[in-house]
Structure 1
Amino acid sequence: MLIVTNTGSVSKRLIEAVEREFPWVLVEQVESVVAGCRSFAHPVALILVDVSLMHEAEAAAAMLSRVHPHALAAVIEPYDKMQTTSFSAIADSALFRSVLPMDMRLDIWLSIIRLMLCGGEYLPPGSLVGVRAGEPASPPPAHNGVPVGQRKAESSVAELTARELQILEMVSRGLQNKLIAAGLGLSEHTVKIHLHNIIRKLGVHNRTEAAARFRNARNSNAVFD
């Protein structure tokens, strides 16, 4: 795991907590994006970049992707100070897919780290990713008689990861988080994070709507052909 920050946004205590929780993970910390654009002793799975260095990292996105081709990149959000403009920038980013909040309980924070290390994405609840000021309120135009928004909703289940589909299938069978966690060998916090991402990706309001979307997709063979 590579941390790029010159503000001390990730403390030594948090780094020690990561290394205790994930003993197979080595943490490297550098103070500039340039220092992160090099190979390390082990492959990098996760790059955490302080929001103050976000634009510098975007400028070096091609280099970072070439040197660390399998790494997910996330912006460190220092104590809920991230601005809507930064969320909008992430929505258009070729590098960043996730945000790591720093104002959470340690166990939840570590669950988000675990999710990211496994290639999952995380955005804080209520973030305005993708929202643009001045967007027209009218429905998008239809294509072949089907509104674009409807076609997107129908395909959204297919965009879930294998783990998210697995969890959503269990939700559709009425299983609660505790049973899902036990069945998959995960913590309840990790299951909650997956569910948050599922709900966000599907554009629904709760797990009940997400389960209904899954059943509709299964009945139409949208995901399982």
Structure 2
Amino acid sequence: MMLLDGNDHDAAGASRRVGPQRVILILANSGSISPSLIDALEREFPWIRVEQVDTIDTACAVFSYPVALILVDRALMRKAEAEASELLRMHPHALTAVIEPYDRVLVTSISDVIRSPLIRSVLPMDLRLDVWLSIVRLLLCGAEYLPPALIHEAKLRDQKAQAYSDNGTAKTANVNMASLTTRESQILGMVSHGLQNKLIAAECGLSEHTVKIHLHHIIRKLGVHNRTEAAARFRNLHDGSRAMNEN
């Protein structure tokens, strides 16, 4: 029986470790991924074998090793999503990313990723090679990646939606406030300054009962729950108008 010294053991162990153990499956039209990029992947990750296919049927085949990562060309994304259940059944441990040509001009949106039954990450192809390989390493570890430009776009869309919502709320509040009669606006102004019904009645020459009726109408027209909310609505609108006039 032949015995190996320590160095021989290390060399044999390294040989075993670097052999292919997982597959990166690239689903893309023929010629869209350069051979040099595939070589770079296999050099960076010796335990990976890269398989490139151009049809969904071929992607759903059994490969020599388990598929760890599926990279889908943007042009084939919809077809892949239509067969998501079969792809996930055949490759249950694979994370899937869509390939985008450019980092700053993205076709895929956050909504596409959220709604997708398959895609969890977006991988731009025009990054520096070392950065690109680092992102692939993250994906192979089970992490998800979205380009900063995509996140920035989502934030801008949320801000616009919030501004639109706030503007709509303000317009509704203004419309509701405009529906008040002159007397109701007068009484609401007094309420906003902390006056109680008895003092409002004396100031306006009304009975307390009449003031209560006016307050009931004010609360209903403004769509609020009580006099406190009505007074807050009045102050907010008037403070906002004052700020606009000052600017």
TM-score (norm 1): 0.56
> Aligned pair 1:99/2:126, yes or no?
no
Counterparts in 2 of 1:67-82, with a 5 A limit?
A: 67-80=90-103, 81-82=105-106
Which has the bigger relative contact order, CA under 8 A and spacing at least 6? 1
Q: Which amino acid aligns with 1:16?
A: D
SS of 1:73 mapped into structure 2 = strand
Relative to 1, partners in 2 of residues 1:6 and 1:94: Cα closer, same or farther, differing over 3 Å?
same
Q: What is the root-mean-square deviation of aligned Cα atoms in Å? A: 2.2
In structure 2, C-alpha distance between the alignment counterparts of 1:12 and 1:129, rounded to whole Å: 34
Inter-CA distance 73–129: structure 2 relative to 1 (3 Å threshold): farther
Q: Which runs of 5 or more structure 2 residues have no equivalent in the other structure?
A: 1-23, 167-247
- 1:1-225 aligned at under 5 Å gives the runs 1-6=24-29, 8-80=31-103, 81-83=105-107, 86-127=109-150, 128=153, 131=157, 135-137=161-163, 138=165
Aligned residue for 1:26, secondary structure, equals strand
Q: Which moved more, 1:32-41 or 1:50-59?
A: 32-41
| Deviation sequence 1:50-101 (CA, Å, 0-9, x none) | 00001001100000010000000000001244325x4421121121110111
User: What is the TM-score normalised by the length of structure 2?
Assistant: 0.52
Considering fraction of residues, name the structure with more helix: 2
The one-letter amino acid of 2:28's match is T
Larger Rg: 2
2:117 partner SS: coil
In 1: Cα distance, 2:32 partner to 2:107 partner: 16
TM-aligned CA distance change 1:115 to 1:36, over 3 Å: same
